[in-house]
């Protein structure tokens, strides 16, 4: 029913026709509102599912990040240990070289005196 289909009486629109029109409009709006509510509930459920999936992914990524940080710390620690060991070996090699050079010079001087 459209507004131009309302029945008119001597003093304006007939009450029954107006009530019928209002009832029909109310039913249309109620249906549309129910559709919107249903649509919103569906969207809400989809968003909740998406949020849960994203939270799960975030948790996985955080765990992966923590594992990578631990690996980086292990690598850094190993590198520092390797540098320390290299320095020790270098110092030992230099000390041994000095000892051997001193011994060689000592032997060389003995050979020169003889």
* Model pTM above 0.75: no
For every residue of the chain, DSSP letters joined together read --GGGS-EETTEE-HHHHHHHHHHHHHHHHHHHHHHHHHHHHHHHHHHHHHHHHHHHHHHHHHHHHHHHHHHHHHHHHHHHHHHHHHHHHHHHHHHHHHHHHHHHHHHHHHHH-
How much is the pLDDT for 111? 78
What confidence category does residue 21 fall into, taking pLDDT thresholds of 50, 70 and 90?
A: confident
- Structure tokens belonging to residue 34: 């129910």
Q: What is the pLDDT of residues 27-82, one digit of tens each?
A: 999 999 999 999 999 999 999 999 999 999 999 999 999 999 999 999 999 999 99
């Amino acid at each position: 029913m459209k507004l131009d289909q309302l029945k008119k009486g001597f003093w304006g629109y007939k009450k029954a026709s107006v009530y019928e029109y209002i009832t029909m409009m109310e039913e249309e709006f109620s249906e549309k509102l129910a559709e919107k509510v249903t649509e919103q509930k569906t969207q809400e459920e989809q968003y909740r599912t998406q949020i849960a999936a994203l939270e799960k992914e975030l948790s996985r990524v955080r765990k992966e990040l923590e594992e990578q940080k631990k690996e980086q710390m292990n690598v850094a620690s190993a590198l520092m240990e390797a540098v320390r060991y290299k320095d020790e070996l270098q110092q030992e090699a230099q000390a041994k070289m000095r000892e051997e050079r001193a011994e060689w010079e000592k032997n060389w001087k003995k050979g020169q005196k003889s």
